[in-house]
Amino acid sequence: MPATQTGLSKARDVFTKHGGMLRTSKAIRLGIHPRTLYALRDAGEIEQVDRGLYRLSTAPPLSSPDLVPIAIRIPRAVVCLISALAHHGLTTQVPHAVDLALPSHAQIPKIDGVPLRVFWYSEPSLSAGIEVVTIDDLPVRIYSPEKTIADCFKYRNKIGLDVAIEALRTYRERIPKPNFQALAKFAQINRVRRVMRPYLEAVL
């Protein structure tokens, strides 16, 4: 049985009301019949962003197409390291994958078309310094600039000490009111205070 014009119109309204993007499961919960959803897809009115995730074709282009499916599919993940540095404007590195922090022993997620680099964090480091920013109308969890810099020193053997040093210097130069107290706190949490001390003293 083909989708009705009333059903199609209602589905368009539901998508618009929810920022132009919905997961299949939520769309169905909101009263959109699966055949209506697929009719919109086949007509080109909605496009598939990721498996089970659709958005209106007329919606503005996503500013962060890699982070949108992550925010929806892996809500407990936290954007970290190079990806967080890039978001905060603290690196010249170009991320080739999205760096994500996940709890130790969590299952490694997979998202179609989005390369991920997962780092396992334990408490209290995992929960410390998380900010929630809105990207493409979605809440995205990302570490603060100060926590990210401390993380870079902690994972310096994986991402490079030069990346951590560059981030610290850029933070000192570009942030109007750098919070060195927060840097020291996160260094303590990450157990890299002694490692960071000479570099902090050099930029003060």
Indicate the domain borders of the chain. Answer: 5-56, 67-203
Q: Round to whole Å and give the CA distance between 69 and 136.
A: 11
Average per-residue pLDDT for the chain: 90
Read off the DSSP letter of residue 96. S
Specify whether the CB–CB gap between 80 and 99 falls below 8 A: yes
- The secondary element (H helix, E strand) that includes residue 52 is none
- The secondary element (H helix, E strand) that includes residue 132 is strand 130-135
Q: What is the pLDDT of residues 39-62, one digit of tens each?
A: 999 999 998 877 788 888 888 777
Q: What is the pLDDT of residues 87-114, one digit of tens each?
A: 999 999 988 899 999 998 888 777 877 8
Identify the three-state secondary structure at position 194.
helix
Q: What is the pLDDT of residues 143-180, one digit of tens each?
A: 999 999 999 999 999 999 999 999 999 999 998 899 99
pLDDT at 53: 83
Position 3 pLDDT exceeds 70:
no
pTM of the model: 0.78
pLDDT at 154: 97
pLDDT at 178: 92
Residue percentage of the chain with pLDDT more than 70: 98
Distances (CA, A) of 14 to 34, 35, 36, 42, 131: 14, 15, 12, 18, 29
Please name which of 173, 184, 155, 23 lies closest in space to residue 84, comparing C-alpha atoms: 155
Identify the three-state secondary structure at position 111.
coil
Q: Mean per-residue pLDDT for 76-92?
A: 95
pLDDT at 2: 62
Please name which of 157, 140, 12, 14 lies closest in space to residue 76, comparing C-alpha atoms: 140
Go through 99-118 and write b for each residue having 16 or more CB atoms within 10 A of its CB, e for each that does not. bbbbeeebeebebeebebbb
